[in-house]
């Protein structure tokens, strides 16, 4: 059985769905600090399966150990964690405690219960301010905020573990910018309050829930001056985890992959494409640059293609259609 921490969250829920659709047995743990119980009901609707689930905080070792006692866990995919960059600079202690402690506890239990297989949600943020794009996995690593540092610290911990105990199987997945939702419109991203990330923001402007998108800077060295990122459909990302799980199920060692499309779009590209796909006008206003942002960041996804046989199949139009379907289906629900 695969333990999916944070499995009611955005990326966790889509990955749990992919795993279940690939006939894996899954147990989700989540404390609902940034997610919603209805996600589990919707996963049941989508899979026609009973979802195994335990409500707990992964920093609670005793509670988590009960899951290992009740179920035979063979591997863990660890999504649970805090992820807001700005907030991480205000409450670093909470970020380090939550993101590092939970990981240490899970690793300890995986070892104790003889299931040394682990997939970690890392981020392209560990590349800091890359000199060029596309970015491959050998690029130098650096970070500028506690959220990013917590990701890099866990990566370092995992590299130390594999050096000392080579019988672990570990996958480090560096996500680029996940957007979109499952095509059913039943699960998607539900940020609390005003979104930090651009696509949920655009979608709320499209739905009339926010008046105007702030565009953070139009003087970057990019084709239209706005920031360029590698937006990846969350279901493509979910499928990347299924491919990673296949690898760690048969091989020991640590491997690291970028999960991105290899294609960059600017903020204004997103706005234009969103208007085209949905027919909604997106009002925007050019604002000063956001501190810590970089001009361009997109992946070289070739290593994942070669070694995992994984590549993205959903284009920006599909990402926007699915975002918009979820936005409309969730009207009046939890927002
Ligand atoms: C952010 C985080 C990154 C994290 C990722 C996933 C920062 C600096 N980086 O990536 O560490 O892994 O989210 O959660 O926060 N933009 C606007 N208006 C907005 C919001 C964003 O113009 O209201 C622009 C940004 O300047 C950027 C692009 O949109 O050029 C993407 O921003 P965002 O969606 O926040 O993602 P990242 O900053 O790339």
Average pLDDT over residues 135-145: 96
pLDDT attached to residue 335: 42
Q: Whose CA is nearest to atom 36 of ligand 1?
A: 197
The domain tally of the chain equals 1
In a domain, 72, yes or no: yes
| Residue among 65, 64, 162 nearest 116 (CA) | 162
Nearest CA to ligand 1 atom 34: 197
pLDDT tens-digit readout, 8-26: 999 999 999 999 999 999 9
CATH of the domain at 221: 3.40.50.720
Q: Which residues line ligand 1 (CB under 6 A)?
A: 83, 85, 123, 125, 148, 177, 196-198, 201, 213-216, 227, 229, 267, 290, 292-293
What pTM does this model have? 0.97
Q: Say whether 147 is catalytic.
A: yes
- Please indicate, yes or no, if residue 335 is contained in any of the structural domains: no
Best residue among 142, 196, 296 to mutate for probing ligand 1's pocket (most ligand atoms within 8 Å of CB) is 196
- Do the beta carbons of residue 149 and residue 123 sit within 8 Å? no
Provide CB contacts within 8 A for 304, sequence distance 6+.
Answer: 240, 243, 257, 258, 259, 310, 311
Q: Crossing angle, helix 10-21 and helix 234-250, to 10 degrees?
A: 60
Residue-wise pLDDT for 83-110, tens only, equals: 999 999 999 999 999 999 999 999 999 9
Tell whether 136 is covered by a domain.
Answer: yes
| Confidence tier at 330 by pLDDT (50, 70, 90) | confident
Tens of pLDDT, residue by residue over 196-239, are 999 999 999 999 999 999 999 999 999 999 999 999 999 999 99
Mean pLDDT value of segment 129-151? 96
The range of the structural domain enclosing residue 158 comes to 2-330
């Amino acid at each position: 059985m695969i333990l999916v921490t944070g499995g009611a969250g955005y990326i966790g829920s889509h990955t749990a769905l992919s795993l279940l659709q690939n006939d894996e047995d899954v147990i989700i743990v989540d404390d609902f600090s940034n997610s919603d119980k209805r996600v589990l009901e919707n996963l049941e609707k989508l899979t026609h399966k009973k979802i195994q689930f335990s409500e707990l905080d992964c920093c609670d070792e005793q509670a988590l150990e009960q899951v290992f006692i009740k179920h035979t866990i063979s591997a863990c995919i660890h999504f649970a964690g805090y992820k807001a960059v700005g907030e991480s600079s205000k409450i670093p202690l909470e970020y380090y405690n939550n993101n590092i402690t939970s990981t240490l506890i899970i690793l300890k239990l995986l070892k104790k219960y003889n299931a040394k297989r682990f997939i970690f949600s890392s981020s392209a943020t560990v590349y800091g301010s890359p000199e060029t794009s596309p970015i491959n996995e050998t690029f130098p690593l650096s970070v500028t905020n506690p959220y990013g540092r917590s990701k890099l610290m866990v990566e370092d911990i995992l590299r130390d573990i594999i050096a000392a105990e080579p019988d672990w199987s570990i996958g480090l997945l560096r996500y680029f910018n996940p957007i979109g939702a499952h095509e059913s419109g039943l699960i998607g991203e539900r940020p609390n309050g005003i979104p930090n990330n651009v696509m949920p923001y655009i979608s709320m402007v499209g739905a009339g829930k926010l008046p105007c998108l702030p565009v953070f800077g139009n003087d970057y060295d990019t084709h239209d001056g706005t920031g360029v990122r590698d937006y990846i459909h969350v279901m493509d990302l979910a499928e990347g985890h299924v491919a990673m799980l296949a690898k760690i199920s048969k091989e020991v060692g640590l491997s690291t992959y970028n999960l991105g499309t290899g294609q960059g779009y600017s903020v204004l590209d997103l706005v234009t494409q969103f208007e085209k796909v949905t027919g909604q006008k997106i009002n925007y206003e050019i604002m000063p640059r956001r501190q810590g942002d970089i001009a361009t960041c997109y992946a070289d996804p070739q290593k994942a293609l070669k070694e995992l046989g994984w590549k993205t199949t959903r284009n920006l139009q599909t990402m926007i259609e699915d975002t918009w379907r979820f936005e409309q289906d969730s009207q009046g629900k939890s927002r």
